[in-house]
Amino acid sequence: MHRFRLFKDKFFSKLMLVLTLASVSLLVIIGLGLYLRSSPLLHQHSWIQLLTSSKWRPLKGLFGFYPFIMGTIWVTAVSIIIALPLCILTAFYLVEYVPPGLRRILIPFINLLAGIPPVVYGVWGVLFIIPLIQNKIAPHFVEFSTGYSVLAGGIVLAVMIFPLIVSIVIEVLRTIPQELKDASLSLGATKWETIKKVLFRKALPGIIAASVLAISRAFGETIAVLMVCGNNADVPHSIFDPGYPLPALIANNYGEMMSVPLYDSALMFAALLLFVIILLFNLLSRLILARLERKLAA
Amino acid sequence: MMKRKIEELFIKFLMLVATVIVVGSFFLIVGTIVSKGLPHMSLDMITKTPGGGFYIGKEGGVLNAIIGSLYVAGGATLLGLLISIPVAIYLNMYLSGKNVIANAIRLAFDVLFGIPSIVYGAFGFLIMVYFGIRTSLLGGIIAVTLLVIPILVRTLDEVIRTVPHELRDAALSLGATRWEAAKVVLRQIKPGIFTAILLSFGRAIGDVAAVLFTAGFSDNIPTSLHEPAATLPLAIFFQLSSAVEEVQGRAYASALILTVVVLLITVLSEILVKKFSKHKI
């Protein structure tokens, strides 16, 4: 009996260890799998050539990822530029100005925003943002725009990353000791001066971590962006130009990728690029956040 | 003095505007979806499969996609639980709380959580090619399982950590093995497991990019794991690009259905999470 219990304990211990290692090693396996699958392309073209060429002619065997990389960067940049100031202001407002009762009502709505599926954001983008840009915004700046543009993708993505940034910044702000605020306020600083000179400085690592996390989220977002960006394989030159981010490229061409040589390799290479960049960004922001959490615990 | 007051007021105003935009965007999205989707809602939407081809047919609804989504999300959540409950127990019961290895594993899951679903989709596709599985319900479930494992592990880990250490220590000191103590803890976190299920299900049911390569699409309700299956988000995506007005209308109505389902799930899990989480960033 006794030995059976110990055996069970050992058995489950080993089983769980295996499951844990297997699921953690996913990180390596995904990277390796994508690399192996994209290696036929990497044999024929150098990394630099793939990343800097603008010629995308899969039928002729030309795979230049530059337009897609630029598309991703444009859309992500627009979304961060829109979202970051709004989210930081909102987080400070919610933590420092709004009475706790109202805060408890408002924060759940921001969390609900996080629950809305990407495709619904896409539908909203098509129904609301596209006409808005086409009829109201673009005519002030350019002669003609269909609305399907980098700007549309950026706005939709910005709304998608609102909840991520706001919730992390709120958490970070809550870790700042009350004494610090009291000290500043008692010296005669206004609330805003306290925020600007004390809280903001204290929260800066957390804000950076939140931004990096948000960037990596925006980088990998697929379907919502695909629906509103226009998907034109040219490098965008203004926010009213269409863009074609990497995830949209993968999603849009999965159907034909098996019929053109090297095409599947090229798409897997795109996935590999996304994977590596997002992995690094996530690692960075998680390490910053973990340090903050440790500080809080200490 | 005046200048400081004005600056304070100005910033306060900016903050108010920002908060209105951020919180208001939720209502804007839901409002748009409801106002566009509601006119196209009908009982047919949720009780019939599309008639005459989902892309051009004007008849019927999206029952095939609703059922397909339930299968994919349900199957993935179930499979994910089978893997993530043992992982969460291992992290907390077998490796002690401040273990370096445990924290490295947690970091790995945090990073996995951030990997976009399109990458899981592409990887799921590689697995399918490797094992010779065709686009099917099974393929979709595999890809989405990979996607939800990090969500489940993170949530369960968080929940188990809220169980007082004394409980575990008491069980162990009475001579229970770690596995027996784990069963005591598991009983304590039943509501937490339910939260994890909701979070995972909500994410799984709304995701497109992971099923795009793997589940295929079909107008019929799948009857086996090896048949292709439609999912609701994918149905929305495809129908929206149709030139037929009725089909577009179906996309709006489908979006409304999906939004309502996911919001209900989110609200429910919010309520449950409130009871558990402390300072998770």
User: Coil, strand, or helix at residue A128?
Assistant: helix
Mutate to test the interface with B, among A120, A175, A282, A296 (most CBs of B within 10 A): A120
Per residue in A157-178, pLDDT (tens digit) is 999 999 999 999 998 998 888 8
Angstrom distance (rounded) from CA B199 to CA B159: 13
Q: Give yes or no for a contact between B64 and B280, defined as CB atoms under 8 angstroms apart.
A: no
Q: Report pLDDT for A139.
A: 84
Q: Give yes or no for a contact between B72 and B200, defined as CB atoms under 8 angstroms apart.
A: no
Average pLDDT of span A226-249 = 88
Q: Report pLDDT for B57.
A: 64
pLDDT at A123 exceeding the cut of 50: yes
Mutate to test the interface with A, among B21, B25, B81 (most CBs of A within 10 A): B25
Domain ranges of chain A: 49-297
Q: Report pLDDT for A136.
A: 85
Mutate to test the interface with A, among B3, B16, B23, B107 (most CBs of A within 10 A): B23
Q: Which residue of B has its CA nearest to A8?
A: B179
Residue B43 forms contact with A (CB below 8 Å): no
Query: Cα dist. B171→A15, A228, B98, B181 in Å?
Result: 22, 56, 20, 5
B125, B127, B281 ranked by CB distance to A289: nearest: B281
Residues of chain A contacting B270 with CB distance shorter than 8 Å: 108, 111-112
Q: Report pLDDT for B275.
A: 67
Residue B107 β-bridge partners: none
Residues of chain A contacting B73 with CB distance shorter than 8 Å: none
Ranges under pLDDT 70 in chain B: 1, 51-58, 96-98, 275-281
Q: Which residue of A has its CA nearest to B1?
A: A190
pLDDT at A156 exceeding the cut of 90: yes
Q: Report pLDDT for A166.
A: 95
Which tokens in the block code for residue A1? 């009996």
Angstrom distance (rounded) from CA A145 to CA A243: 13
Nearest CA-CA partner of B72 in B264, B222, B236: B222
Angstrom distance (rounded) from CA A228 to CA A225: 5
pTM: 0.90
Q: Report pLDDT for B280.
A: 42
Average pLDDT of span A176-204 = 89
Phi first, then psi, for residue A162 (nearest 5°) are: -45, -60
Query: Cα dist. B22→A123, A125, A162 in Å?
Result: 19, 16, 7
Per residue in A196-210, pLDDT (tens digit) is 888 988 889 899 999
Q: Give yes or no for a contact between A213 and A283, defined as CB atoms under 8 angstroms apart.
A: no
B4, B17, B118 ranked by CB distance to A250: nearest: B118
Contact B179 A9 (CB under 8 A): yes
Residue B177 forms contact with A (CB below 8 Å): yes
Angstrom distance (rounded) from CA B188 to CA B194: 12
Q: Give yes or no for a contact between B217 and B238, defined as CB atoms under 8 angstroms apart.
A: yes
ipTM value, please give it.
0.89
Q: Report pLDDT for B4.
A: 86
User: Coil, strand, or helix at residue A56?
Assistant: strand
Fold of A49-297: MetI-like fold (1.10.3720)
The HSE-up count of residue B83 (CA atoms within 13 Å, CB side) is: 24
Q: Report pLDDT for B97.
A: 57
Angstrom distance (rounded) from CA A2 to CA A21: 29
A97, A115, A118 ranked by CB distance to B263: nearest: A115
Mutate to test the interface with B, among A11, A23, A160, A252 (most CBs of B within 10 A): A23
End-to-end CA distance of chain B: 38
Angstrom distance (rounded) from CA B63 to CA A154: 33
Structural domains of chain B, ranges and CATH numbers in brackets: 61-276 (1.10.3720.10)
Using a pLDDT cut of 70, give the percent of chain A over it.
98
Residues of chain B contacting A219 with CB distance shorter than 8 Å: 116
pLDDT at A9 exceeding the cut of 90: no
Contact A93 B28 (CB under 8 A): no
Per residue in A51-104, pLDDT (tens digit) is 888 888 887 878 889 999 999 999 999 999 999 999 999 999 999 899 989 998
Q: Report pLDDT for B135.
A: 85
To the nearest 10°, the Cα dihedral for A122, A211, A297, A192? -110
In sequence order, which residues have a C-beta less than 8 Å from that of residue B65 and are 6 or more positions away?
Answer: B230, B231, B232, B234, B235, B254
In sequence order, which residues have a C-beta less than 8 Å from that of residue A100 and are 6 or more positions away?
Answer: none
pLDDT, chain A, mean:
89
Q: Report pLDDT for B279.
A: 42
A20, A119, A268 ranked by CB distance to B233: nearest: A119
A111, A162, A278 ranked by CB distance to B25: nearest: A162
pLDDT at A29 exceeding the cut of 80: yes
Residue type present at position B130: Y
